[in-house]
Protein backbone atom coordinates (compact mmCIF):
# COMPACT_ATOMS: atom_id res chain seq x y z
CA UNK A 1 0.00 0.00 0.00
CA UNK A 2 1.38 3.36 -0.97
CA UNK A 3 0.73 6.33 1.30
CA UNK A 4 0.86 9.78 -0.21
CA UNK A 5 1.07 13.23 1.34
CA UNK A 6 -2.66 13.88 1.00
CA UNK A 7 -3.46 10.97 3.34
CA UNK A 8 -1.00 12.24 5.95
CA UNK A 9 -2.39 15.77 5.62
CA UNK A 10 -5.95 14.44 5.99
CA UNK A 11 -5.11 12.44 9.12
CA UNK A 12 -3.24 15.44 10.56
CA UNK A 13 -6.31 17.59 9.91
CA UNK A 14 -8.57 15.06 11.65
CA UNK A 15 -6.18 14.98 14.61
CA UNK A 16 -6.02 18.80 14.65
CA UNK A 17 -2.25 18.75 14.06
CA UNK A 18 -0.37 21.45 12.22
CA UNK A 19 2.53 19.80 10.44
CA UNK A 20 5.37 21.47 8.61
CA UNK A 21 6.00 20.33 5.00
CA UNK A 22 9.17 18.47 6.03
CA UNK A 23 7.22 16.67 8.79
CA UNK A 24 4.58 15.61 6.27
CA UNK A 25 7.30 14.23 4.01
CA UNK A 26 8.97 12.40 6.92
CA UNK A 27 5.73 10.87 8.21
CA UNK A 28 4.69 9.86 4.70
CA UNK A 29 7.95 7.93 4.25
CA UNK A 30 7.77 6.36 7.73
CA UNK A 31 4.16 5.22 7.42
CA UNK A 32 4.82 3.88 3.93
CA UNK A 33 7.75 1.81 5.24
CA UNK A 34 5.61 0.45 8.07
CA UNK A 35 2.86 -0.57 5.65
CA UNK A 36 5.39 -2.20 3.31
CA UNK A 37 6.63 -4.28 6.25
CA UNK A 38 3.04 -5.24 7.11
CA UNK A 39 2.59 -6.43 3.51
CA UNK A 40 5.65 -8.65 3.94
CA UNK A 41 4.12 -10.11 7.12
CA UNK A 42 0.79 -10.66 5.35
CA UNK A 43 2.53 -12.70 2.67
CA UNK A 44 3.62 -15.35 5.21
CA UNK A 45 1.75 -18.65 5.27
CA UNK A 46 0.13 -18.81 8.70
CA UNK A 47 -2.28 -21.66 8.01
CA UNK A 48 -2.24 -24.08 10.94
CA UNK A 49 -0.77 -21.57 13.39
CA UNK A 50 -3.09 -20.77 16.25
CA UNK A 51 -3.50 -17.12 17.24
CA UNK A 52 -1.89 -16.19 20.55
CA UNK A 53 -2.26 -13.26 22.87
CA UNK A 54 1.05 -13.83 24.68
CA UNK A 55 4.23 -15.60 23.69
CA UNK A 56 4.62 -17.12 27.15
CA UNK A 57 1.94 -18.45 29.50
CA UNK A 58 0.77 -16.01 32.15
CA UNK A 59 0.05 -16.82 35.75
CA UNK A 60 -1.52 -14.87 38.58
CA UNK A 61 1.23 -12.99 40.41
CA UNK A 62 -0.89 -11.73 43.29
CA UNK A 63 -0.41 -13.09 46.76
CA UNK A 64 -3.23 -14.75 48.63
CA UNK A 65 -5.44 -12.40 50.62
CA UNK A 66 -4.82 -13.67 54.13
CA UNK A 67 -5.15 -11.98 57.49
CA UNK A 68 -1.78 -11.14 59.04
CA UNK A 69 -0.60 -9.77 62.36
CA UNK A 70 -2.37 -6.51 63.14
CA UNK A 71 -0.79 -3.84 65.28
CA UNK A 72 -2.38 -3.01 68.59
CA UNK A 73 -3.27 0.60 69.30
CA UNK A 74 -0.28 0.92 71.59
CA UNK A 75 2.09 -0.52 68.96
CA UNK A 76 0.84 1.82 66.25
CA UNK A 77 0.74 5.12 68.16
CA UNK A 78 3.22 4.30 70.93
CA UNK A 79 6.04 6.37 69.38
CA UNK A 80 3.87 9.26 68.19
CA UNK A 81 5.17 12.69 69.31
CA UNK A 82 1.62 13.62 70.32
CA UNK A 83 -1.49 11.56 70.57
CA UNK A 84 -5.10 12.00 71.54
CA UNK A 85 -6.37 8.74 72.94
CA UNK A 86 -5.80 6.10 70.30
CA UNK A 87 -5.17 8.61 67.47
CA UNK A 88 -2.18 10.56 66.18
CA UNK A 89 -2.51 14.24 67.02
CA UNK A 90 -1.44 16.45 64.13
CA UNK A 91 -1.47 20.21 63.63
CA UNK A 92 -4.55 21.58 61.86
CA UNK A 93 -4.18 22.25 58.15
CA UNK A 94 -7.34 24.28 57.53
CA UNK A 95 -7.23 27.94 58.37
CA UNK A 96 -10.50 29.45 59.58
CA UNK A 97 -11.00 33.20 59.17
Please give the full DSSP string across the chain, using - where no structure is assigned.
----HHHHHHHHHHTT----HHHHHHHHHHHHHHHHHHHHHHTS--TTPPP-S-SS-----PPP----PPPPHHHHHTT-SSEETTEE---------
d(CA 81, CA 87): 11
The arithmetic mean of pLDDT across residues 28-38, rounded, is 93
Q: What is the pTM of this model?
A: 0.48
For residue 1, what pLDDT is reported? 59
| Domains of the chain: residue spans and CATH | 5-42 (1.10.20)
For residue 33, what pLDDT is reported? 93
Amino acid sequence: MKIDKSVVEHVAHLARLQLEPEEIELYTEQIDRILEYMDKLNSLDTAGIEPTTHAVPLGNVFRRDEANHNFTVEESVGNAPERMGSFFKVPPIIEVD
